[in-house]
Amino acid sequence: MVSADPISKIQLGESPLQALYQALATDGNGLDSEQAGLRQQHIRASKPHTESGARKVMATLVNQFRSPLVLLLVVAVILSAFLGEVSDTLIIGCIILASGLLSFWQEYKAGKAVEKLQKLISQKSTVIRGNTEQVVDAQDVVPGDLILLKAGDIIPADCRIIESNELHVNESSLTGESFPAEKMQGQIKEHAALSNTFNCLWQGTNVISGTSRALVVRTCADTVFGKLRESLSESSETAFEHGIRGFGYFLLQITTVLTLVILSVNIYFGKPWIDSVLFSLALAVGMAPELLPAIMTVAMSTAAARMMERKVIVKKLSSIFNLGEVTVLCTDKTGTITEGSVRVCDAVDGTGISRQHLRQYAYLNAVMQQGFVNPIDEALSDLTLDSKGYRRLNEVPYDFIRKRLTVLAAGPGGNLMISKGALESILEVCSRLEVDKGVYVPLDEARRRSLLCQYQTYCEQGYRVLGIAVKQTRLDHITRADESEMAFAGYLLLEDPLKSSSLSSIQKLRELGVEVKIITGDNRFAAMHIAKTLGISGDRIMTGPELDMLTPEAFGKRCSGIAVYAEIEPHQKVRVVKALREQGAVTAYIGDGINDVAAINAADAGISTHNAVDVAKQAADFVLMEKDLSVLADGILEGRKSFANSMKYIFITTGATFGNMFSVAGASLLLPFLPMLPKQILLTNFITDLPALAIASDQVDPQQTRRSGKWSMSLIRRFMVVFGLHSSFFDFLTFYVLYFKLHLSGAAFRTGWFIESVITELLILLVVRTRQPFLSSRPAKALLWLTLAALLATILLPVSPLASELGFTEISQRESVWIAGILVLYVVTADMLKVRFFQGGTRAGQR
């Protein structure tokens, strides 16, 4: 068994490879499955203790009772038990427990749903075990493993390079250096800086280009990244999370002031101090939106489950709100606008004549390359051509600077270099033109212009065009320096037709207020062809070179009006996304390649696909199982529904709850008795919370999803004032009727006011859940039935066996008529007020 201590002391880059093999108890040929299994067990045993499933469940349950207000109430209840108030203690304790259990159950179910979604995405690594290649979960890689890496892979451990080919790695997360670091086998000097360890690979970095075979030395917390994980894993706060935090502080301030004032006044007027303390704390708990975290989590997990049905996997729940706020979607055209299934149409020489040997060149280049998988090479590999007589020697992998891929093959006529890539990149390394197989002429300037004109013609016809170049050589190993003095052989004509759904998907996004911007590395002519097909005018296209000529200020003014960006480099994608954000747009970016990672990170909502490279999937907030804009439109719609449903609870909390609690507090100052007992306040809170749990799955009016939802604290404050005063007016009207008109006091008064308070909160939920007249919008069945059940329970409580213990008494028919009349008037006026309020908010641009 390998001990962790010797490994942690090894100088990864300075030690000879043989010393590493010896320390890792391996011979350099990899581990077998049994050795790997034992080392996995050892790693798990040495990890810091993690909570078991039962412990996590218990922790979730305990968290429901950690609120300072709830803890204070528990202390006060225990104190009242010592003073002999046993029945009140039991009742209040049961209500607190039931409320906590309700919140726990919702959070537990939401957590289980999230776990299932997260299991659908896991990082994979290719290792050699038992002399065979195996794909395993990255977390199962152990010291001593031999790992195979290619472009797009995330490095799962700290490794020492055994062999490599044109390997370039992005180490910006560790070194801060934006340019890829070139890596190769060798041994470094002692005490070299991290940025100079050319022979080491570090966990959390990713391969930009090339391939490598490396020895895994350190994993988990022993890695450089593992030691920095805590600081590097901090995620930025979303706009909605920031708003919720501000809303929490706002309510806390109001609750604290109101509670202290009520407590002081009640004690000043000589009311029993234990009753006053319990009453004040119960009032505070009644005002606190204790279900908000659970409702938000349920809303997001429900949306995530619905998005999963539409083949969208949510990696971070809080990002659902960001997706709902999106106003601009940036996307490549391949696979989203187009079918994504590349078809090889032809391979033609410089005069436009189809040549079979050019197909052979392209086929050999595709089947012999060992870099990252891409649709073009997959399409070429599917050609039914014979590669007999050819043998791969090595390659210079594709990268986004050279924009070409070169393989070296041994064939019947000797060793042959075959390059394939962007036309201008191919022409850079060509000095000759192949006019027939094996027949060459000099590639002068006139011929270059002619080739570029022919290229433009093909692009304008909608083809994706690549160049092919060849060179006979005696070399048996090539590098980038050998890509010179080649012969241009011809064009490879590819086709990726538009999806039949593209136009309708873009129209659907436009109806949601989302503008689609195409960002592609293709040339301007192909981009203009796409734009024309999609009905986009040619003056809304910008190329990468044109973008580079603009200052940030000038580009910022123009970026919103550009619909298609062509010939774009990876760093320019980031510039486009950032400029759009600076102009006030909420951006989403969808990409699946290494060159998309930075833009995915820069966007408000990063989106990748299930077949993307590992680093793109890790950077993304969402992963599409189908690369289709219509799927994304559904995701944006779900995000807006989640936002709308969460805001419903916030409006209800700040309106009816605040109004009712303010009224109870005010009445306690004016009446010679407490208007409600502490247990009745908590019972009010408990009953009204029951239907609120179903808000997360409520239906949302179409007009609320036509535009992105925006967090607005000013709107919430205005709602609280307007509807709080409206609710308080009817509470005081009830107070007047019960006390002065019907001459009720004590239990009779409390019963009447309890019924009115609870039913108004239940009814305002049905009123506020829609911005239409509430009878014209049907709530979800769960919400409707829970509301009716809570309403029935409220009416039956005063005549139930628990009535006396809860401090209730049966109300007369006359009292019932008065309360019913007040409730009808309340609903009618609240509905009219709501329609006018939100119409004004819409005109002000607040949705």
Catalytic-role residue among 332, 496, 621, 698 = 332
- Say if CB 496 and CB 343 are below 8 A apart: yes
Give first-to-last CA distance, the chain, whole Å: 62
Find the helix packing angle between 239-268 and 273-287, rounded to 10°: 160
Distance CA 417, CA 474 (A): 10
The alpha carbons of the chain give a radius of gyration, in whole angstroms, of: 34
Contact 392, 364 (CB under 8 A): no
CA distances to 456, 607, 609, 630 from 329, rounded to whole Å, are 28, 10, 15, 12
Q: What is the rounded distance in angstroms from the CA atom of residue 685 to the CA atom of residue 374?
A: 57
d(CA 719, CA 711): 13
**Do residues 206 and 170 lie in contact, with contact meaning Cβ atoms separated by under 8 Å?**
yes
β partners of residue 410: 391, 415
The tokens of 52 are what?
């078991």
332 annotated active-site: yes
Q: If we measure between CA atoms, which residue out of 441, 432, 435 comes closest to residue 471?
A: 432
Helix 713-736 × helix 746-768 angle, to 10°: 150
Instruction: Provide the 10 A C-beta neighbour count for residue 744.
Output: 20
H-type alpha helices, 119-163: none
Task: Count the neighbouring beta carbons within 10 Å of the beta carbon of residue 150.
Answer: 19
Q: Which has the closest alpha carbon to 691: 799, 794, 776? A: 794
DSSP three-state, residue 697: helix
What does the alpha-carbon distance between residue 455 and residue 463 come to, in Å, rounded to a whole number?
A: 10
Strand partners, 756: none
Q: How far, CA to CA in Å, does 29 sit from each of 15, 167, 202, 393?
A: 18, 21, 21, 22
Token pair 């149409």: residue: 345
Apex 74 CA angle, 70 and 79, nearest 5: 145
Please state, as a whole number, how many other Cβ atoms lie within 10 Å of the Cβ of residue 695: 25
How far apart are the C-alpha atoms of 482 and 471, rounded to whole Å? 10
CA distance 712 to 734: 33
Cβ(117)–Cβ(101) below 8 Å:
no
Active site residues: 332
